[in-house]
Structure 1
Amino acid sequence: MLRATDRLRAVVDGSIAALPVPAGDSRETERLTTALAAGEPVDDEVALVVATSGSTGVPKGAMHTAATLAASAAATQERLGGPGGWLLALPAHHIAGLQVLLRCLRAGFTPTVIDVGGGFDPAALVAALDRVDGPRRYTSLVPTQLVKVLDDPSAVAALREVDAILVGGAATPAPLQARAVDAGLPIVRTYGMSETGGGCVYDGIPLPGVRIRLDAPVDGVGRVALSGPMVALGYRNRPDHPAFAQPGEFLTDDLGRVDDGVLSIVGRADEAITSGGLTVVPQVVEAAVLADPTVAECAVVGLPDERLGEKVVAVVVAAKGAEVRADSVQSAVRERLDRIAVPREVVVVDALPLRGPGKVDRAALRARFA
C-alpha cells in the first residue's frame, strides 16, 4: 500500500503518467494495457489515463492532467464543506475509487481501504470508519452497495456518523434514496464519469466551475454536455473523437433535462428500446417498477420479438424477505406509464450483472435472456 500511495502522490503532482489496472486480474490488465497502448509515449501534461466503463466493450482511456484532477478535488471539497479523510470501498482502478484516494491524499490524509476483491461486506465498514483520519469523514458507494448497507443495522449506525456518503457509478433509484434518507444517512447523489474526473454534479447541482448544456433538446430533453476545469483532455490515441469535439466539453450519451437549475437524467440515447414502432427509455420504466415495494433492484432491457421488434423485459432482484409477482410489477408500470412501457416479462434473479463501478451490464442481460 505504501508503494501504491507514493505512486498516487506522483499522479497528484503530475510527475508520472499512470494507467490503473485491477490487481489480480491478469486478463483485464492485458486487455486494458493493449487497448490503451501502455508503455507508448503520452503527452507530457497527462498524469492519468483511466479506462472508461462504457457499454461498447471497447475501453477508451480518458486522459487527465494534474490540473484537471486538482480542479475536481477542490470542487468536491468546497461542496462537501472542507477537507477530510476518505474510506475506499470501491475498486481502485475505476475513476470513483481512484478519486477517493486522490482526494484524500491531496487533503493531506492517508486513505483507509476496504478490500472488495471478494465482494462487498457492509459489516467491514464499521471497524474501517473508526480508522479514518481527518476533521471530516467521507466515503463513496454505488447503489448496489447502499442496498446491502441498509439491510445491516450496524453499518447504518456507523455511516450515520460520517459527513457525506457519495452515491454514484449508476443512477440511485428514488425508493432507495428515500430509504437512505429515512435511515439518517447523509447521502449525496453524484453524476459524472471517467471523462469528467468522476462526479461533477451533486444532487443535480453542478460543482463550482461546472457548466451543463443540453445538446439538441426536444421538449426540454437533450444529450447532456458537461464542461469545466475537471474535464479530461480527450481519449488516449483518439484525438478526433466526437465526444470531445468542443474544447473543454464532454458530450455524454445521457439524456437529461434541467429544471430550475437542477439536472435530471432520464435515460441514455444508446439504450432506448424500440417496441411496436415506439421508443421506450429503460430508466423511466425502471423507476416505475421500483415503486413496487417487493423489488429491490431492476434493469429493463429490450429483447427480440417477432411482432414488436423488441419487447420490454424487466429483470428484478427481490427485496429482502419479499416475493415478486409479475402482475404486481406490471400494474405498477401501467399506473404510471403508457401501455407500451409495461414489461411483457418479469424475470427474477439473485443479482444483476455489473460492469464498472456499479453499472448494470445490460448487454449481459440481453445475451442471457434473448
Structure 2
Amino acid sequence: MVALIPMDADDPALLRDALVRAMDGGPALGFGMLADAPDWVPAGTAVVIATSGSSGIPKRVALSAEALRASAEATAQRIGSGRWLLALPGGYVAGLQVVVRSILAGTEPVALDGRFSPEAFAEATLSLLRPAPGDGIPELFTSLVPAQLSTLLDAAADGPVLAALRAYRAILVGGQALPEPLRERAADLGIRLVRTYGATETSGGCVYDGAPLDGALVRAVDGELRIAGPMLADGYIGDGALTARNFVRDEHGIRWYRTGDLGLVEDGVVRVHGRADNVIVSGGINVSLDRVERIVRGVPGLAGAVVVAVDDERWGEASVIVAARGEALRRSEAEQLAHARDAVAEQLGKHARPARLILVDELQLLASGKPDREAIRRAVADLH
C-alpha cells in the first residue's frame, strides 16, 4: 500500500514536484477527494482522480505511473515534445497530463495568471516563447476544451490573441465533441488543432484526430467503443463492482475499458456517436441527445449550445437547446430554433427535433471548462 495525500492543483510548480515523487513510488496524490477518502491506496498508484464523468456517478479513478507515462510518451511520439501551457485545472486528467508531458520533456509548464481569458492566454504564450539562454525558441503545446477555444477565436481579431494561437505546434482539444464550425474557423486562421478522445480511465486522450495513439487499441462491441492499452487505469478505489463492470478481459486475456460511448471503427478511424446513456424516448422512439447536439452545434450561432432532456406531456420526453445569448445570432430566437429543428429533422428525422431554444447570459461550466450539464438540465426543468 502507498499513502494517499490530498493535492491542491492550483500551483503548477508544487504540482509538478509532487507528481514527480508520486510517479517515483509515492505518496500518491488525490484530486477532488471528499472527506471519506482513504488514507492508503494499492501499491503502484500514482494519482487518484475523483470524477463523475458523463454518467454523474462519483468515481475515484486510480492511475499508475506507468499508465500516465505511457499516455504522455505516446502523445510526444505523435505530436512532438516541448513546452506546455497549462490552461486547464491540474486536478483533471487533461490538465494533469500537461504536467506529466512537461516532466518527461524536462520542461516547466506555464499556467495562466488568474481566470482564463484571451488576454491571459496571450500573455502566458508570450512567456513561453522567451527562450532560455543558449536555447532556441521552443515548440509550444497546450490543451483546451471547446468552450475555451471558442472564447479565443471570438477574440482572434485582436492581433496578440491570434498570434498566440498560431504559435502552438499543436493545440489539443477534448473533453467533449469539437463542433465542426469551431474546427473550420481555426483552420481558416491557420491554427493547428488536434481533436482528442479519451477519458480519465484512459489517462486522458488516447485517440487523436480519429487515430489511436501507438499502444492504444480501440474496437466497437455491440456498438460500444472499448479501449485497451498501457494507459488504462487500474480501476476505481473502493468500488470493485464498478471496476469489474467497466474493465473486462476478452478471450485472449486483453483488458478493455468499456467507454459507455457509442461509435464504430472504420479503416482504423474511430468515430464517436455519443453516450450510450444520453438517450431519451420521445414518442416511443429513441433519440440520442449527443447526435442532436452535434447537429445543432453546426448551425451558425449555436456552436457552443448544449442539448438537454425535459419531460414532455405529449411525447414523454423532449430535448431543449440551451445557448449563450452572446453568440452571434442574426436571426430571431424563433428563426434560430426553426433552423436547428430543420437541420436535425434532415439528418435524424422529425421525431428528434428539439422542442425549444432557451438563451441564457452564459452557460454554467464545471471547473474543467466543460458545460455543467446537470445544472443546466435542472435550470431548464425549473423553467419548463
Instruction: Decide whether aligned partners of structure 1 residues 249 and 34 sit closer, same or farther in structure 2, where only a CA change above 3 A counts.
Output: farther
2:113–2:124 Cα contact (<8 Å) kept: no
Equivalent residue number for residue 34 of structure 2: 33
2:113–2:120 Cα contact (<8 Å) kept: no
Is 2:136 aligned against 1:125? no
1:136 to 124, 134, 139: 139
Partner-residue secondary structure (3-state), 1:123: helix
Equivalent residue number for residue 63 of structure 2: 64
Name the amino acid aligned to 2:215: G
1:136–1:163 Cα contact (<8 Å) kept: yes
Equivalent residue number for residue 215 of structure 1: 221
Report how far residue 193 of structure 1 moved.
0.9
1:344 to 355, 364, 375: 355
What is the 5 A alignment of 1:148-187?
148-153=151-156, 154-187=160-193
2:150 to 138, 147, 151: 147
Report how far residue 319 of structure 1 moved.
6.1
Which is further off, 357-366 or 237-246? 357-366
Instruction: Decide whether aligned partners of structure 1 residues 314 and 320 sit closer, same or farther in structure 2, where only a CA change above 3 A counts.
Output: closer
TM-score by length of 2: 0.86
1:313–1:343 Cα contact (<8 Å) kept: yes
Name the amino acid aligned to 2:380: F
TM-score by length of 1: 0.89
1:315–1:348 Cα contact (<8 Å) kept: yes
Is 2:202 aligned against 1:200? no
Name the amino acid aligned to 1:110: E
Question: Would you say how many aligned residue pairs link Structure 1 and Structure 2?
Answer: 350
Question: How far apart, in 2, do the equivalents of 1:34 and 1:226 lie?
Answer: 32
1:204–1:262 Cα contact (<8 Å) kept: yes
Equivalent residue number for residue 25 of structure 1: none
Name the amino acid aligned to 2:125: L
Report how far residue 104 of structure 1 moved.
0.4
Equivalent residue number for residue 28 of structure 1: none
Partner-residue secondary structure (3-state), 2:97: helix
State the identity %: 43
After superposition, the C-alpha distances for 1:274-331 in whole angstroms (9 at most, x for unaligned) are 1001011112112222232122311112210122110121112356442443222222
Equivalent residue number for residue 313 of structure 2: 306
Instruction: Decide whether aligned partners of structure 1 residues 57 and 285 sit closer, same or farther in structure 2, where only a CA change above 3 A counts.
Output: closer
What is the 5 A alignment of 1:17-96?
17-21=28-32, 32-35=33-36, 37-39=37-39, 41-81=40-80, 83-96=81-94
2:302 to 295, 302, 307: 295
Report how far residue 260 of structure 1 moved.
1.8
1:51–1:194 Cα contact (<8 Å) kept: no
Q: Which runs of 5+ in 1 are unaligned?
A: 22-31, 217-221
Which is further off, 263-272 or 46-55? 46-55
2:224–2:263 Cα contact (<8 Å) kept: yes
2:50–2:59 Cα contact (<8 Å) kept: yes
Report how far residue 357 of structure 1 moved.
2.5
Which is further off, 333-342 or 189-198? 333-342
After superposition, the C-alpha distances for 1:19-55 in whole angstroms (9 at most, x for unaligned) are 124xxxxxxxxxx2335x242x211111111122424
Report how far residue 351 of structure 1 moved.
2.4
Question: How far apart, in 1, do the equivalents of 2:77 and 2:167 lie?
Answer: 20
Question: How far apart, in 1, do the equivalents of 2:174 and 2:320 lie?
Answer: 25
Question: How far apart, in 2, do the equivalents of 1:180 and 1:160 lie?
Answer: 9
Question: How far apart, in 2, do the equivalents of 1:38 and 1:55 lie?
Answer: 24
Equivalent residue number for residue 238 of structure 1: 239
After superposition, the C-alpha distances for 1:120-155 in whole angstroms (9 at most, x for unaligned) are 201111121122267311001000000001011232
Question: How far apart, in 1, do the equivalents of 2:52 and 2:369 lie?
Answer: 10
